[in-house]
Amino acid sequence: MGITKLADLIRGDAPGSITYKEIGDYTGKIIALDTSIIVNQFRSAVPNLTLSLLGVFYRTLTFLEHDIKPVFVFDGDPPEQKRAVLEKRAQSAGWSSSQRSHTVSSKTREVLRLLQLLGVPCVQAPGDAEAFCAQLVRSGAVDAVASEDMDTLAFGGTVLLRQLNAKRVSEVTEYSLPKLLEILQLTQKEFVDLCILLGCDYCDKIAGLGPSRALKLIQQHRTIEDVMLNINRKTHPVPVGWQYQAARRLFLDSPGSEPPPLQWSEPNEKELVNFLCQEKHLREEKVTKDGDGGVRQNLSPQEEGERGEKKGRRQTDESGRILSCDTEKTVCRSRRIHRQKATED
């Protein structure tokens, strides 16, 4: 998946394009996320499907706590090349494609519902979500793309964030595409050719060519066509009917859809509580909002009915926060600590 060996190559040959940050450094930033990547992460980490939904909930809360504005991008119709790959995967997993699409769509519907209740914008990509994320950051509609998938760089995403999660101590890795191109002395077009040689989702690669040689070859000959003329065709045979040109177009051509208007709204407390605890039977019943002045404490955690929301409606037009009761405690604590520090300084 993705450009598998690109991360290693960058770490080895262009470490200068990497900076290490923490989540707090992105306060106030707009960040696009590939929803399918996130959901897959949670689904593989926890056995239960509902728990993965909870993971999305918590992670989004963490973003909002840091005043990060997330934009969730959903996959549209996958391009032909990837469709073939997906079908092959589904078959090898022993799933009929109708079964797969059904479970997938019901799952994404739930995620979509949750995110809409949280008041974060969800946009539908015309094609691959990664490609649209890249376009969003390239056009300046968002400040960065958070993804584990290095495809974003091949699609021209200028700022890529990895390991942007809710861990207590998390080291975020930021990749800068302009710096990367400068260090490697490549144009974007040449970089795309390099990624194709490394191996991508959209076409085959030349067997026997790994990161090191691919980089040297591209730096020397600049295009796949010229590389092909300068390698040993016997030891490194080119795949028959190689679709590298289609892959190249896929990376270089913009999806073409205009960035939609992004709007963050107040979370819908009532429906959120409904959805999470009544429909999903989660214990995160108590959901409350935290304006910047009135911090409410002492929400008794065990109320008999599931209507734990107090009616202290405090409208904060921009940065409303929604927190589970338990989470609120910790945030209140950290806030008090923060304020004490601020007043002591």
Partner DNA sequence: ACTCTGTGTCAAGACGAT
Partner DNA sequence: ATAATTGACACAGAGT
Partner DNA sequence: ATCGTCC
Structure letter (DSSP) for residue 162? E
Interatomic CA distance for residues 117 and 272, integer angstroms:
6
Q: In this chain, which of 211, 255, 267, 308 binds DNA, going by CB under 7 A? A: 211
Maximum Cα–Cα distance for the chain, whole Å? 75
CA atoms within 13 A on the CB side of 129: 21
Going by C-alpha positions, the residue among 147, 160, 166 that lies closest to residue 60 is 166
Element of type H or E holding 41: helix 35-45
Interatomic CA distance for residues 224 and 118, integer angstroms:
46
Q: Does 340 bind DNA (CB under 7 A)?
A: no
Q: In this chain, which of 149, 174, 193, 290 binds DNA, going by CB under 7 A? A: 149
For residues 94 to 123, the per-residue mask of contacts with DNA, x marking binding by CB under 7 A and - elsewhere, is: -x----------------------------
Q: Does 213 bind DNA (CB under 7 A)?
A: yes
Stretch near DNA under the rule CB under 7 A, chosen from 69-77, 163-171, 174-182, 307-315: 163-171
Total number of residues shown for the chain: 345
For residues 226 to 265, the per-residue mask of contacts with DNA, x marking binding by CB under 7 A and - elsewhere, is: ------x--xx-----------------------------
Q: Does 46 bind DNA (CB under 7 A)?
A: yes
Residues 53 to 82 in contact with DNA, rule: CB under 7 A: 54-55, 58-59, 61-62
Do 26 and 229 contact (CB within 8 A), yes or no? no
Q: Which is nearer to DNA, 221 or 254 (CB)?
A: 221
Element of type H or E holding 175: strand 172-176
- The residue whose two tokens read 């990497």 is 18
Give the count of residues interacting with DNA (CB under 7 A). Answer: 51
φ/ψ of 123, rounded to 5, equals -120, 150
Q: Does 47 bind DNA (CB under 7 A)?
A: yes
Residues at the interface with DNA (CB under 7 A): 1-2, 4-5, 7-8, 40-42, 44-48, 50-51, 54-55, 58-59, 61-62, 89, 93, 95, 148-149, 165-168, 207-214, 232, 235-236, 280-284, 326-327, 329-330
